[in-house]
Amino acid sequence: MTVHAIIGGTGLTQLEGLSIQQALSLETPYGAPSADILRGEYAGREVLFLARHGHPHRIPPHQVNYRANLWALRQAGAEAILAVNAVGGIHAAMGTGHFCVPHQLVDYTYGRAHTYFEGELEAVTHVDFSHPYDEGLRQRLIAALLAEGCAFSGHGVYACTQGPRLETAAEIVRLERDGCDIVGMTGMPEAVLARELGLPYACLALVVNPAAGKSSALITMADIERALGEGMGKAKAVLGRVLAA
C-alpha cells in the first residue's frame, strides 16, 4: 500500500481526523523541515502530514525550506505527495471556492534553493519536468472532487510567484497573457524537488480570492480566511476519498 504524504498549505496547518501515532522531529542535510512530520491514520490509511508554513502558520512562502520538507517526507517513508495550495483565480472559471487540479505550471520565483543537484557532484543531472504533476494522482483527485460534488477544473496552469506580497494587477495581466489560470506562491520548487526525489506529486488548489484586477474589490485577509474556512473542509473530504480509494 502506497504511503501518501499530505503537505498542508495556508488554511491547512492541521489535518482534523488524523489519528496521530507519531510526531517525527527530523533533521536533514538541508536543515529542519517546517514542522514535525505527523504519522497516523486518515480515512483508514497510513498517512504522513506536514504543515508547509509550520504550526502555527509562521513561515512565509519565500522562506519555506522546501528541500528539507521533501527530503524529510521521503526519509519518513512517503511514496507519493498530495499538496494542498491556496491560490488566486486568474481565469474567469476560477472563482472563489473553486478547486483546480493543475496540469502545468510556470515558475516566476527567484533566489529559492530549488534543487538537490548542486555542489560537489560526480555528474550533472537534469530531470525531465515536461509534465510537472503525476497524472495518476491527478486523476484520483479529479475522481474525488467529482464524488464530493465540488466545483472544480481538471486542468489549469499554476503560476508560482515569489511573494510574500500579492501581485499587482499588471502582473496578473502578464500571467494571464502567459497562459496561467491560477496564481500561488508555494508550488515551486516543491514540485520539482519531489520529481528529483522520484516522488509522484500532484496539487489540489483552492481558489481563495480573485487575482489582482479581477475584481473591483480590494483583496482582504478577512475574505481569504472566510474562503479558507469554507473550502478546506471540502479539501479534507477530497483527500479522504483519494486515500480511501
Is 188 annotated in some ligand binding site?
no
Is 164 annotated in some ligand binding site?
no
Is 65 annotated in some ligand binding site?
no
Is 43 annotated in some ligand binding site?
no
**Is there a contact between 135 and 216 (Cβ–Cβ < 8 Å)?**
no
Is 85 annotated in some ligand binding site?
no
User: Using CA atoms, how far apart are residues 173 and 175, in angstroms rounded to an integer?
Assistant: 6
Q: How many Cβ atoms from other residues are within 10 Å of residue 140's Cβ?
A: 21
Q: Looking at the DSSP assignment, which residues form a beta bridge with residue 7?
A: 50, 83
Query: In which residue are the cell numbers 514542522 written?
Result: 35
Angle at 241 (CA atoms; ends 39, 6), nearest 5 degrees: 35
Is 211 annotated in some ligand binding site?
yes
233: left (phi over 0), alpha (psi -120 to 50) or beta: alpha
User: Using CA atoms, how far apart are residues 242 and 191, in angstroms rounded to an integer?
Assistant: 19
Is 96 annotated in some ligand binding site?
no
Is 210 annotated in some ligand binding site?
yes
Of 69, 55, 59, residue with least CA distance to 6: 69
Q: Enumerate residues 6+ apart whose C-beta is below 8 A from 106.
A: 157, 158, 159, 160, 175, 178, 179, 180
Task: Write out the binding residues for phosphate.
Answer: 10, 52-53, 186
Task: Write out the binding residues for substrate.
Answer: 185, 209-211
Task: Write out the binding residues.
Answer: 10, 52-53, 185-186, 209-211
